[in-house]
Amino acid sequence: MKKPTGTPEIVFLEQETMGPSVDLFRPSLPHRWTSYDKTAPEALVDRLAGAEIAVVNKARIGADALQSLPDLKFIAVAATGYDNIDIHACRARGITVSNVRDYAIDTVPEHVFALILALSKNLTGYRQGVIAGKWQESGQFCYFSHDIRALRDARLAIFGGGAIGKAVGRIGASFGMDVVFAGRKGETAELEKPYIPFDEAIETADVLSMHAPLNSKTHDLIAKPEFARMKRPIIINCGRGGLINEDALVHALENGLVAGAGIDVLTREPPGDDNPLLAVAARDDVIITPHIAWASNAARQEVWRQVVEAIEAFAAGSPVRVLT
């Protein structure tokens, strides 16, 4: 581990990612501070030149950039996911990397169930029906235009058994759902309840909720072969965009292979105009939110508290939540 100096230069590359209403208080140690609202990839090296400590959220710091940053000693990731950081290159250069953890253990599960409830009750479709005058035209005290699903006894299959996945499971159980956790794809070892084989989870779930980390083994975890074996579930992704193949999801929606999709994360954020999900975003059975499941005021403040804690701990020689 590289040792910090007495007065390190700290650079925050993406202050805008913290959003409004967050007290961005500074570390208590002597330091020099520079922050930028956002940082384009081509500006990253220039902005980190001379910095010992970098604070990043989604900015990508790869091996090539690290070669040009000899002074960098510590990276504080203002997120749990760290696939934007070349951990192996950091390890080779003696750069410590820390992330934040468990800050969204309430807000993400709440968002998951906001999506599950909205889609299972088809709230978007019914709201649009009222706006369009369909209920008024029906002549009945109620107007049936979309399926309405109950959650009790429905199977909720959770992909990813970390703190957030477990919290989603607890909420599901409170609704009387049959909560199971999917095993790893291709795994053949016998599993203990509530874990079931990946294939069984795909084939029997009424609701799928994605909470696995994104890596080479989980990229496109759900794609056309998986959609083809499903029984028209609602699918929720508040994990990472790359867990679900977006073209395959569009195909599944258009061919009735899923009953609905609630998506908070995309493979590229913000999405380009060519993102296939934008073409189906106006469907009644699709809800896309702009990566805000994690972003309650309390959760964002906790992220920042942990970032500052990590900086102070590193400066004191006792780094916390170390990834390298």
Sequential pLDDT tens for the chain (324 residues)? 776 777 999 999 999 999 999 999 999 999 999 999 999 999 999 999 999 999 999 999 999 999 999 999 999 999 988 989 999 999 999 999 999 999 999 999 999 999 999 999 999 999 999 999 999 999 999 999 999 999 999 999 999 999 999 999 999 999 999 999 999 998 878 888 999 999 999 999 999 999 998 888 999 999 999 999 999 999 999 999 999 999 999 999 999 999 999 999 999 999 999 999 999 999 999 999 999 999 999 999 999 999 999 999 999 999 999 997
- The pLDDT score that the predictor gives to residue 138 is 93
Domain boundaries of the chain, sorted by first residue: 9-103+297-315, 107-288
Same fold, 9-103+297-315 and 107-288: yes
| 3-class DSSP state of 10 | strand
**CATH of the structural domain 107-288, one choice from 1.20.210.10, 3.40.50.720, 3.40.50.300, 3.20.20.70:** 3.40.50.720
Name the CATH topology of 9-103+297-315.
Answer: Rossmann fold (3.40.50)
Report pLDDT for 111.
Answer: 98
pLDDT of residue 190: 83
Tell me what pLDDT residue 6 has: 79
Q: Is the dihedral of CA 286, 289, 294, 297 positive or negative?
A: negative
Query: How many CB atoms are located within 10 Å of the residue 254 CB?
Result: 11
Q: Which of 240, 246, 300, 302 is catalytic?
A: 240
Residue 269 catalytic?
yes
pLDDT at site 184: 93
pLDDT for res 1? 74
What pLDDT score was predicted for residue 302? Answer: 97
Give the span between the Cα atoms of 273 and 251, in whole angstroms.
Answer: 18
- Kindly name the residue from 137, 187, 254, 269 that is annotated as catalytic: 269
Q: Evaluate whether 297 touches 131 at the Cβ level (below 8 Å).
A: no
Q: Annotated catalytic, 200? A: no
User: In 10 A of CB 40, how many CB atoms?
Assistant: 10
Among the listed residues 93, 101, 219, 291, the single catalytic one is 291
Instruction: Mark whether 240 is an active-site residue.
Output: yes
User: Strand order in 207-210's β-sheet?
Assistant: 195-196, 178-182, 155-159, 207-210, 234-237, 260-263, 286-288
pLDDT of res. 22? 95
